[in-house]
A and B are shown apart, each in its own frame.
Chain A
Amino acid sequence: MTLPAYNFAYLDEQTKRMIRRAILKGIAIPGYQVPFASREMPMPYGWGTGGVQVTAAILGPDDVLKVIDQGADDTTNAVSIRAFFAKTANVATTTKTADATIIQTRHRIPEEKLKAHQTIVFQVPIPEPLRFLEPRETETRVMHGLEEYGLVHVKLYEDIAQHGHIATTYAYPVKVEGRYVMDPSPIPKFDNPKLDRSPALQLFGAGREKRIYALPPFTQVTSLDFEDHPFAVQTFSRPCALCNATGVYMDEVVTDDRGGRMFVCSDTDNCETRQADGHKGPGLPQLGGSAPTARETAR
């Protein structure tokens, strides 16, 4: 038997139009979750099907696509999604943030500032910022409609009462243009400030949950907080071991079984570009190595 050839970027044009309508509605109502008839994709739900459908709907033959997962271009799922579009749409791909016209991402926003001609597409697992406070969609839709967001603040307040700090470190809820509370996808809160007034178009796709939402360029995005507990991002005390960058998000890499750790850029493109420019970090283990070497000899 013969299986059919697929359309440009896999999805048929009818489906793309349906998704584009949802995207346009999302852009018209920033932060509002637009239901859409999400399709079954040839990769599993939860693995970026929402992002893939949004990318497929906006991708043109002249686009240059970058795909990252955890900030890296070479993580397996990023490789898989990039290969999917290289095959089904035959578009140019890149790992360079600056060269990309569309960036599909899971869990990070690149360190390099995005520009006006770029679109970033986020893969979203649970689009509903109120979901873990209220599991029912029928309820949360009403809460958004009535702008009833007290519950989120109660949750953040309870964190402070219990731990002394707001205990949300990623998927940190934001308010869009003073109206909708939105889930920024599970990016670390470190990346939240990058959402605010970004010149790039920011699109969010949740395939399994069948929702699309958007932030048009230069949309005001505020992370929720309290006057006496202002929003703050993570800071790292050491520079990147490879490129000496500071003020970037880091991965902690376990280097041995004796507490050895090194911190390296999560954004691989940023790190490699800096290294190519001659920046050099202090290199191997920076922390730990605390266990005596005697233990090894005793073994």
Chain B
Amino acid sequence: MYVAVKGGEAAIKKAHKLLADRRRGDRSVPALSLEQIAGQLSLAVDRVMAEGSLYDPELAAMAVRQSRGDMIEAIFLIRAYRTTLPRFGATRPVETAAMRIERRVSATYKDIPGGQLLGPTFDYTHRLIDPDMAGDHPVEPGARRDVTEDAAYPRVTDILNGEGLIEPDIPSDAEPGDLTRDPTGFPAGRDLRLQALARGDEGFLLSLGYSTQRGYGRTHPFVGEVRIGLVDLEIDLPELGFAVNIGAVRVTECQMVSQFKGGGEDGPRFTRGYGLVFGQSERKAMSMSLVDRALRADEFDENRAAPAQDEEFVLSHCDNVEATGFVEHLKLPHYVDFQAELDLLRMLRREHAAEKTAGTDRQEAAE
């Protein structure tokens, strides 16, 4: 019996009620607090802040809770909120050399001024599920190092640059572009590329970065340095005529030292790939730096053939909020267009059958 597809409104309300029920889960178990999420699932919160492009751990924790742990859904919630906020201005370039360092490793030198600091890393853990994780066993506080006032952690790329072995940073006083305020055109420029990559999907960038290591746009990378820690944000206030500190954010920075390019006025030297991400995410920062370097192919007259070198391809597809929306929209009704296809297909099949019959008749007549 044909039942008209009615009552969409009631169905939506009920679905959302059920969603809220499932989100809460067993009522005899205490609800997750935002402190628990931000404090104990902090890398999830970091990812939501990074790809949501909004540094607010509490809000990100709310989003993780609301999305039942679906990261892209949480990122989407943050983005949809972020877009309603006014834009006051741009901070001064962040001085990552002055970072309050929590972790810092270099793969290019055995030791560096300031030292290698492992910090809170999964590296060298044996991936054995820890039975303690089933309960709430007491955890000892981590050891703290003494930080002296004059402790300096110069960037490895600055050390290389001191010798002229690497291309220098390209200084600019121009306000960087903002792809959330202006439509992107191609070529996009490195500022917009880096912005897109910083917001881009971790998995997508990871795979693209990986593909460059496997020969699709190889860049011969070395991790000059990865550092994680707090950096101060400063903003110029025209009324005052100087910059004021407006707070600090935790970031992960990766400087990838890549294939040297040679000749010209300056002689051969290493090139750079750069990654900077909100929160603690080495995987993302490293992937970003690989893809950034690959995307600079034109600057170094490299043959642009691999996906990771293709700016339009990478920038058009790295955003997981855009991607998930368009992939998932396929579940919306499409029956009007499907009907049009059915109609054509039936006609083509009718004609095909008629031709076949006619063909057989002709053949029989010939025999």
Contacts and interface: CB of A to CB of B under 8 A. Distances in A.
Q: Do A and B assemble together? A: yes
A44 B184 contact: no
A112 interface: no
Interface residues of B, number: 51
A28 interface: no
A107 B79 contact: no
B325 interface: yes
A42 B341 contact: no
Contact of A169 (B5, B6, B84, B337): B337
Contacts of A36: 183
B109 interface: no
A158 interface: no
Contacts of B82: 40
Given A80-B12, A210-B183, A75 B5 contact: yes
Given A69-B332, A164-B348, A40 B340 contact: no
A262 B339 CA distance: 13
A44 B8 contact: no
Interface string B1-30: 110011111011000000000000000000
Interface stretch (A146-154, A185-193, A195-203, A288-296): A185-193
Interface string A241-253: 0000000011111
A184 to B, nearest CB: 12
Contacts of A171: 337
A7 B164 CA distance: 54
Given A46-B326, A164-B351, A170 B340 contact: yes
B340 A12 contact: no
B5 A47 contact: no
Given A138-B312, A165-B347, A70 B325 contact: no
Interface string B316-339: 100001101111110011111101
Interface in A44-72: 44-47, 49, 69-72
B326 A125 contact: yes
Of A4, A44, A47, A125, chain B has the most CB atoms within 10 Å of the CB of A44
Contact of A12 (B84, B180, B321): B84
Say which size band chain A's interface belongs to: 35 or more
A234 B8 contact: no
B320 to A, nearest CB: 10
Given A44-B328, A46-B326, A251-B335, A76 B340 contact: no
Interface string A17-59: 0000000000000000001111111101111010000000000
Contacts of A72: 5
B336 A163 contact: no
B333 A70 contact: yes
Interface in B338-367: 339-344, 347-348, 351
B333 A69 contact: yes
Contacts of A74: 5-9
A70 B180 CA distance: 31
A71 B312 CA distance: 35
Contact of A208 (B185, B325, B334): B325
B5 A167 contact: no
Contact of A46 (B316, B325, B340, B347): B325
B278 interface: no
B76 interface: yes
Given A12-B84, A69-B333, A45 B325 contact: yes
B2 A255 contact: yes
B83 interface: yes
Contacts of A253: 2
Nearest to A108: B336
Contacts of B8: 74-76, 78-79
Given A46-B328, A74-B8, A234-B343, A165 B348 contact: yes
B336 A75 contact: no
B186 interface: yes
B332 A47 contact: yes
A37 B181 CA distance: 5
A3 interface: yes
B339 A4 contact: no
A75 B333 contact: yes
B224 to A, nearest CB: 33
Contacts of A163: 348
Contact of B58 (A1, A137, A188, A210): A1
B340 A252 contact: no
B333 A208 contact: no
B182 interface: yes
Contacts of B186: 137-138
B80 interface: yes
A6 interface: yes
A200 B341 CA distance: 28
User: 9 shortest A-B CB distances, which residue pairs?
Assistant: A45-B325, A46-B329, A44-B325, A169-B340, A35-B183, A46-B326, A79-B8, A40-B83, A170-B337
Given A38-B183, A45-B322, A188-B339, 15 more contacts: A1-B58, A3-B81, A40-B82, A44-B324, A44-B329, A45-B329, A46-B326, A46-B329, A76-B8, A76-B11, A163-B348, A165-B347, A189-B340, A252-B342, A255-B1
Interface of B: 1-2, 5-9, 11-12, 58-59, 76, 79-84, 86, 180-186, 312, 316, 321-322, 324-329, 332-337, 339-344, 347-348, 351
Interface of A: 1, 3-4, 6, 12, 35-42, 44-47, 49, 69-72, 74-80, 83, 106-108, 125, 136-138, 163-165, 167, 169-171, 186-190, 208, 210, 234, 249-253, 255, 262, 266, 284
